[in-house]
Amino acid sequence: AQTVTQSQPEMSVQEAETVTLSCTYDTSENNYYLFWYKQPPSRQMILVIRQEAYKQQNATENRFSVNFQKAAKSFSLKISDSQLGDTAMYFCALSNFGNEKLTFGTGTRLTIIP
Amino acid sequence: DAGVTQSPTHLIKTRGQQVTLRCSPKSGHDTVSWYQQALGQGPQFIFQYYEEEERQRGNFPDRFSGHQFPNYSSELNVNALLLGDSALYLCASSLDPAYGYTFGSGTRLTVV
């Protein structure tokens, strides 16, 4: 079985600051994918960033980057220069190679303060 | 380019009734998955369809069933509704799930 844990139910940060959301996971597989999804009040899950476990280089998408520590099974999301539009629930998710269901954490509610 | 479309957006049903939720995947996507998201929780995997066959199933009872049509659209059926089935039901589609899924805005089901 695979599990994903997000230990920060809520976070808030001032606009333009940097914030890091934490995620740990457990899987017995060696090949897997990790994702961060954003869910604004509109309810639609939006893919923020993706990491392949066999790649050591941390993924980056504009203001969003990850710190992937495979041995520690840790996958944190850093948001730089935070914007009001970043306010949302953020979910960490895992899927094993060949088993494509997503296992989600319980989410972190991020509020960007003007 | 339309993304994933789900209907209806909201639905209220009575215990014991049956419900059908519908999903049109993003253009070109052939894999469709359904998730249940209870209030304040992360989504839980229900099942996945590919080439009109159920390919994987999560820990949900047989009251939850689905179908995928030749045009890749999908339906989720829930029989004998329970109060605990109240949740947001999300549909997600993909061409290659390794690259992640595109989600719809969901159907909010309330069972009274």
Residue pLDDT, tens place only, B79-88: 999 999 999 9
Task: Give the Cβ contact number of residue A95 at 10 Å.
Answer: 22
Contact, A73 vs A5, CB < 8 A? no
Alpha-carbon gap: A60 to the closest alpha carbon of chain B (Å) = 15
Mean pLDDT per 10-residue interval, chain A, length 114 residues: 94 97 95 95 92 92 96 97 97 89 96 97
Q: Test A91 with B102 for CB contact under 8 angstroms.
A: no
Best residue in B102, B103, B107 to probe A by mutation, most A CBs within 10 Å? B103
Phi, psi of B99, deg, nearest 5:
-100, 10
- Cα(A95)–Cα(A75) distance, rounded to whole angstroms? 13
pLDDT beyond 80 at B1: no
pLDDT beyond 70 at B68: yes
Amino acid of residue B84: G
Specify the pLDDT at position B100: 86
A95-109 pLDDT per residue, tens:
988 778 999 999 999
Percent of chain B with pLDDT over 70: 99
Specify the pLDDT at position B96: 86
pLDDT beyond 90 at B20: yes
- Cα(A70)–Cα(A93) distance, rounded to whole angstroms? 15
Specify the pLDDT at position A56: 85
Q: Test B92 with A46 for CB contact under 8 angstroms.
A: no
